[in-house]
């Protein structure tokens, strides 16, 4: 009888049943019947008892009694993984020695036993100075791209140049800002880098000459995928651009500059170092990293005859293309008919579809026949259309200069606002109107109120004063059929509060108010009223709506439901189509303020931060933690620790004979919701001796199938997948720099990190130091040691 096999089969059956129960639980009460008891009733106690949809609170991070504050960043689409960050200081369970770092990022995953967090931005032990580690998580990938003020791989930490790293959840790779196999080079622009949603491609600007053809010493844009590095800011004929002009990655035009001379200044907005990739079509890199839009005043194409900022598109396998060139039937600028030159006005990137097949930009230059107003317009560029027929005036033949982009959907539709009356169904009046361009026609979404306008023609309703589209109080579905937006206008008779409300527009159905009738303005994301207040600006965002727009999550200080305490603190609400508003954060007058983080695409998971302790495992005494209000959720609390031993029970089993010598070993046992770096791990060094040559072998013990990874700043990264529990040899090979050091010094000590990830996502990692000796040098034995950590 194979007891282990039977237990595994039984566990699989139980998980299948639980998954089925959770699926059934995620049915609105109106359909499932309000009287039906929740299958996870055991977890719906205390603050969870009145949550809708059989939700229960789960502690995501940090687990245990960590007495430091965390900042939630973003959730992955399925809702089973969330990035969170410690804004500053040392973590209680930081595996490295104290280094004065300014914070680290973790990826929390949910497994069968709850949430476990992987440390993504490790600080090298012994670093004599602190550094900032800020990053962008991949929204559709299990990893992290992060920026460090200093290169971590240089011996002695002599190099203080910034570098980019890609993290796969176990240990940091080589910096992506340099050519493969070279030491970190200076020149990285800390504000000009981003990553594709699938984490396959990193795009960055640097003055380092990483391509032999790049000889000017000026900034250029490179793309890195794996070990492949390509210069993309070059001429359309494939030669390098060695002019003095500086290309840059554009942030999406946000409408905060108004003028008749284009929007050149908008292009220089900084990329966000602490947020996730700009949502709502705002990233200049396609989701798969195979298309990049950048801006430059350099004339990279013979058709570019001016010094204005133009937009270029690089596509893998197709090279570079000028996309902001005119398609007029006759030459000359419409506002200067006698001219034979272009208008020489800047073009600003607005956004693009996820596959970069549809791109939008804004300019005051008339690029097609019929655009003669001299004001700002938004153009659609269709990449696959025939040459000469790729541009369309998406915002219509308006006459004003106040045309503002609002959102670009995943499939390439545009929402914009203007005071012009355009499209097939324009309203009467003179106020600002919200429109949709679907590629063929302009349709009215809603009129806006004068109260939505401040600082001239800017629109507070969409947060357009902020350059980050992810921060705007507007969300669109991927197909453009639904738009969520905020306005102070009363778009339905029952809206009598005068405050800003959230409205949901559906094509063919008009608008529906989803935020109730409170007196305080509602918000999406962190709005300053949560526990983080204004101390951490730039955070927030999140999906806010589900993929089908049947649910909307928002915050308000009003008590919009009977169970919401009227205490003036921020609360998290959920609007359900056909079922109204429900409180998702803790009920009662004693509930603390919350900050919304994100939700999964189906709404089954919604994440928020609070200083309240909502589950028994949160024992940190008021530090801010991240929680998940999960449909059908709940995690069993860990059992109490065993009673201390007494007498002979403390002696342990008799010592056994030593086995075969090995450089180091790692073991992984247990699971749960307690350890910060998941899995209770221990490391034992049976015999630590010098290794002759440039390679060593570790024997790694693991309790089941998974993947073993070994990495370090002076060794080649290696990994192997293992099919079952056992002890496996893993080869450690010095990299070129370490081999060179070994040849000079005759002996080097190398610190490597051995990581193990189970098939269900749990992790353990330990550091091991290995002494390498040059062949022929005198052998040196070291004292055998045994180190154990964790429990």
**pLDDT mean for each 10 residues of the chain (791 residues):** 39 38 36 64 90 93 61 84 70 46 74 81 50 65 73 50 69 66 73 83 89 89 89 94 86 43 30 34 87 93 88 96 92 62 77 94 87 84 96 86 82 90 90 92 88 44 42 80 88 86 92 90 58 34 88 93 91 95 94 89 94 85 86 81 65 50 40 33 42 82 78 74 80 80 83 73 72 70 33 33
Query: Which residues neighbour 10 within 8 Å (Cβ) at sequence distance 6 or greater?
Result: none
Structure tokens given for 53: 């949809």
pTM of the model: 0.75
Number of neighbouring beta carbons within 10 Å of residue 383: 18
CA distance 638 to 676: 14
Q: How far is CA 241 from CA 207, 224, 236, 782, in A?
A: 13, 19, 9, 56
- For 655, the 3-state DSSP assignment is coil
For Cα atoms 335, 340, 344, give the angle at the middle one, nearest 5 degrees: 60
458 close to 467: Cβ distance less than 8 angstroms: no
Identify the sign of the CA torsion 442, 446, 447, 453: negative
Say how many residues make up the chain.
791
C-alpha closest to that of 332 among 366, 374, 382, 298: 366
Structure tokens given for 554: 């928002």
Pairing state between β 691-692 and 763-773? parallel
Identify the sign of the CA torsion 436, 442, 446, 452: positive
763 close to 669: Cβ distance less than 8 angstroms: no
Q: What is the DSSP letter of 564?
A: B
Query: Which residues neighbour 495 within 8 Å (Cβ) at sequence distance 6 or greater?
Result: 501, 513, 517
Lay out the sheet containing 310-315: strands in order across.
291-296, 310-315, 319-322
pLDDT value, residue 763: 65
At residue 296, φ and ψ (nearest 5 deg) are: -160, 155
Q: Quick one: three-class SS letters along 195-239?
A: ECCCCCCEEEEECCCCCCCCCCCCCEEEEEECCEEEECCECCCCC
Which secondary structure element, helix H or strand E, spans residue 742, and what is its range? helix 736-745
CA distance 381 to 372: 19
Number of neighbouring beta carbons within 10 Å of residue 514: 23
CA distance 78 to 72: 16
Residue with tokens 């651009």: 241
CA distance 618 to 625: 8
CA distance 273 to 145: 10
Query: Which residues neighbour 743 within 8 Å (Cβ) at sequence distance 6 or greater?
Result: 774
Q: Which bin fits 603, alpha (ψ -120 to 50), beta or left (φ > 0)?
A: left
C-alpha closest to that of 508 among 481, 546, 484: 481
Strands (E), 76-113: 81-85, 105-111
Residue with tokens 């000889």: 215
Number of neighbouring beta carbons within 10 Å of residue 433: 21
pLDDT value, residue 253: 58
480 close to 362: Cβ distance less than 8 angstroms: no
Query: Which residues neighbour 547 within 8 Å (Cβ) at sequence distance 6 or greater?
Result: 477, 478, 601, 602
At residue 47, φ and ψ (nearest 5 deg) are: -65, -20
The CA-based dihedral angle spanning residues 761, 92, 157, 178, taken in that order and rounded to the nearest 10 degrees: 30
C-alpha closest to that of 60 among 76, 39, 81, 74: 81
Q: What is the pLDDT of residues 452-502, one digit of tens each?
A: 643 333 444 444 443 344 445 788 899 999 999 888 888 999 998 878 889
- For 635, the 3-state DSSP assignment is coil
Structure tokens given for 603: 């709404």
CA distance 308 to 323: 13
Q: How far is CA 101 from CA 80, 94, 130, in A?
A: 28, 11, 4
Output Rg (C-alpha) for the chain, integer angstroms.
29
pLDDT value, residue 707: 75
512 close to 504: Cβ distance less than 8 angstroms: yes
Cross-strand bridge partners of residue 748: 772
772 close to 750: Cβ distance less than 8 angstroms: yes
360 close to 378: Cβ distance less than 8 angstroms: yes
Q: How far is CA 206 from CA 187, 191, 382, 778, in A?
A: 5, 10, 30, 45
pLDDT value, residue 36: 73
Report the helix count and the strand count for the chain, using DSSP H and E. Answer: 3, 45
107 close to 117: Cβ distance less than 8 angstroms: yes
pLDDT value, residue 30: 37
């Amino acid at each position: 009888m194979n007891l282990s096999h039977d237990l595994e089969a039984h566990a699989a059956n139980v998980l299948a049943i639980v998954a089925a129960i959770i699926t059934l639980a995620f049915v609105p009460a109106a359909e499932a019947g309000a009287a039906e008891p929740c299958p996870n009733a055991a977890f719906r106690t205390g603050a969870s008892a009145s949550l809708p949809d059989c939700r229960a609170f789960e502690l995501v991070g940090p687990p245990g009694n960590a007495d430091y504050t965390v900042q939630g960043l973003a959730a992955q689409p399925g809702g089973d993984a969330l990035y969170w960050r410690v804004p500053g200081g040392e973590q209680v369970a930081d595996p490295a020695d104290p280094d004065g770092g300014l914070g680290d990022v973790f990826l929390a995953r949910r497994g069968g036993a709850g949430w476990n967090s992987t440390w993504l931005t490790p600080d090298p032990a012994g670093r004599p100075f602190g550094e900032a580690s800020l990053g962008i998580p991949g929204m559709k990938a299990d990893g992290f791209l992060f920026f460090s003020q200093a290169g971590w791989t240089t011996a002695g930490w002599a190099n203080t140049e910034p570098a980019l790293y890609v993290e796969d959840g176990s240990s940091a790779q080589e910096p992506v800002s340099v050519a493969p196999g070279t030491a970190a080079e200076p020149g990285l622009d800390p504000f000009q880098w981003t990553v594709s949603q699938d984490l396959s491609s990193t795009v960055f600007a640097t003055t380092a000459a990483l391509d032999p053809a790049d000889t000017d010493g000026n900034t250029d844009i490179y793309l890195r995928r794996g070990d492949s590095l390509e210069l993309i800011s070059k001429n359309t004929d494939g030669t390098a651009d060695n002019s003095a002009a500086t290309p840059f990655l554009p942030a999406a035009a946000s409408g905060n500059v108004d003028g008749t001379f284009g929007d050149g200044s908008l292009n220089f907005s900084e990329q966000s170092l602490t947020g996730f990739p700009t949502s709502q079509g705002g990233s200049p890199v396609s989701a798969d990293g195979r298309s990049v839009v950048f801006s430059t005043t350099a004339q990279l194409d013979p058709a570019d005859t001016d010094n204005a900022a133009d937009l270029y598109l690089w596509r893998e396998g197709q090279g570079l293309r000028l996309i902001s060139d005119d398609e007029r039937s006759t030459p000359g600028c419409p506002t200067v008919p006698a001219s034979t030159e272009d208008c020489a006005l800047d073009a600003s990137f607005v956004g693009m579809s996820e596959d970069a097949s549809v791109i939008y930009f804004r300019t005051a230059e008339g690029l097609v026949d019929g655009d003669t107003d001299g004001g700002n317009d938004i153009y659609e560029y269709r990449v696959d259309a025939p040459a000469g027929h790729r541009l369309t005036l998406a915002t219509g033949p308006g006459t004003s200069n106040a045309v503002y982009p609002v959102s670009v959907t995943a499939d390439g539709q545009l929402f914009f606002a203007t005071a012009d009356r355009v499209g097939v169904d324009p309203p009467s009046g003179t106020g600002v109107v919200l429109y949709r361009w679907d590629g063929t026609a302009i349709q009215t979404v809603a009129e806006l109120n004068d109260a939505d306008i401040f600082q001239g023609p800017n629109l507070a309703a969409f947060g357009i004063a902020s350059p980050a589209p992810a921060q705007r109080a507007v969300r669109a579905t991927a197909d453009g059929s639904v738009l969520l937006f905020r306005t102070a206008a009363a778009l339905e008779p029952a809206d009598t509060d005068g405050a800003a409300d959230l409205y949901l527009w559906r094509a063919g159905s008009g608008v529906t108010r989803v935020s109730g009738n409170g007196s305080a303005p509602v918000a999406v994301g962190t709005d300053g009223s949560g526990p983080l207040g204004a101390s951490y600006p730039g955070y927030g965002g999140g999906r806010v709506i589900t993929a089908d727009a049947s649910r909307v999550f928002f915050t308000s200080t009003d008590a919009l439901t009977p169970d919401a305490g009227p205490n003036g603190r921020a609360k998290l609400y959920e609007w359900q189509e056909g079922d109204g508003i429900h409180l998702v954060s803790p009920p009662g007058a004693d509930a603390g303020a919350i900050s919304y983080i994100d939700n999964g695409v189906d709404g089954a998971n919604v994440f928020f931060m609070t200083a309240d302790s909502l589950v028994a495992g949160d024992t940190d005494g008021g530090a801010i933690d991240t929680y998940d209000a999960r449909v059908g959720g709940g995690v069993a609390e860990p059992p109490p620790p065993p009673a201390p031993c007494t007498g002979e029970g403390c002696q342990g089993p008799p010592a056994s004979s030593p086995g075969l010598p090995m450089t180091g070993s790692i073991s992984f046992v247990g699971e749960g919701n307690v350890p910060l770096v998941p899995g209770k791990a221990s490391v034992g060094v049976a015999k630590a001796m010098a290794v002759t040559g440039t390679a060593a072998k570790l024997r790694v013990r693991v309790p089941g199938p998974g993947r073993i990874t070994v990495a370090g700043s002076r060794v080649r990264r290696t990994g192997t997948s293992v099919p079952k529990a056992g002890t496996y040899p893993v080869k450690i090979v010095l990299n070129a720099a370490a081999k060179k050091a070994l040849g000079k010094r005759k002996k080097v000590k190398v610190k490597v990190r051995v990581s193990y990830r189970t098939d269900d996502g749990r992790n353990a990692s330990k550091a091991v130091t290995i002494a390498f000796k040059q062949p022929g040098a005198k052998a040196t034995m070291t004292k055998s040691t045994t180190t154990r950590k964790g429990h």
